[in-house]
Structure 1
């Protein structure tokens, strides 16, 4: 009896497929990334979990774990290890802001021929351009962008950065968000812990009658 998969396949671009094929055939990539790329490609070719396990010399649970991460978090998470319990790597809010700002630019603005960022290119550029992030991994770059719901390889021109003061303004706004979060958690200015903070977009269609 043939059992059909319960899950629909994720939307994967041609660029992502080419990257998976490159990893699978690479002799320089980590073995676990090569195997995971092969699992994903076999899955996209409609092989069963049992068949994928047999083709790659692994057990079925490895296949299931990889595909579960693929469906829930995307390709980068499926290829790499998720964060493990323990002391987290220290990446400051300023460093995160820098990565997010970079994702809102075009590679061509930094001397690259590419029109859109790939995770590999963004990671390499970050390591070379930001001393505090010289050892950052692709998975960490993915986590920062994923948390902000940014997909640099799928950005359209309507979200490109046009304001030359964008980085300074973005950093200011993010610092305000962080300060509010710390106040709400009683980390700073305890007397303001129960203060209600309201955030709204420009021209919301309502009038502020007075300051409180």
Structure 2
């Protein structure tokens, strides 16, 4: 004889049917709703319910009892669970945070979970503490001692603000084919060759590259980006000397923008990015001829974010160069295809 009989009214039956049909609830809640619906008016036996829902008869009995004694809501919802008590009290957790934010011991570049646990034990009355507890507390406080970010902080003095506003005003000007605005920068690329042939991707298996590789030298990439046209050019060279910079500027005015009156170049403060580089590379008359058609506009120090060529270099690295490239000829060919698609 069933001790707790389930008899549902129309509203309760409708609510339970909605829970089981929508699939927007937890598996536990749906299972309890199914138990109550199948127990309604003794449609199914306990054995049949247990077999169909793959549950124990104690679960069926408990769900029915909660329904009869406390009602539908208590039968299908869980009570709040206290969970396992915290291993660290507030003071111990505050001490852990302070240790994590301090300098690591001499001979170590960063704190590890085990080192943090050992240090915490030595400073408190704790006898043991697991790395998992340390990890959870660090996670709760958004602390990641294994991560470090590098950045340059610009000094917001009058010179910084003056150059920043000058460059922003330049960007805000309408497009003028006779006075184009070109962003210019450079980036290095390590040439790397495979020692063992990579294994291509197959269904169910990712592509594999051997950890071992062979260095094949360095290459430099000069990036040109037209502020208004969205045109870009990646020029590969062996180095980034004053002569290489001067050749880029001559190519810019003679080949890329031969009809322009003046090409306005936005660039950073690298030591080669100056008029003197052209005099090092060319006779004075030739250097003067090129410079008459150039205007240099410098970003503030530590403000590379103002140079749109930096963004394009990031796109280039992500879309084209995020792989091993063995030689300069292959690099030039790959960049040519990328450049054509981008333009």
Structure possessing the higher radius of gyration over alpha carbons: 2
TM-score interval, smaller chain: 0.3 to 0.5
> Normalized per residue, which structure has more helix?
1
Q: TM-score, normalised by structure 1?
A: 0.36
Larger RCO, structures 1/2 (Cα 8 Å, 6+ apart): 2
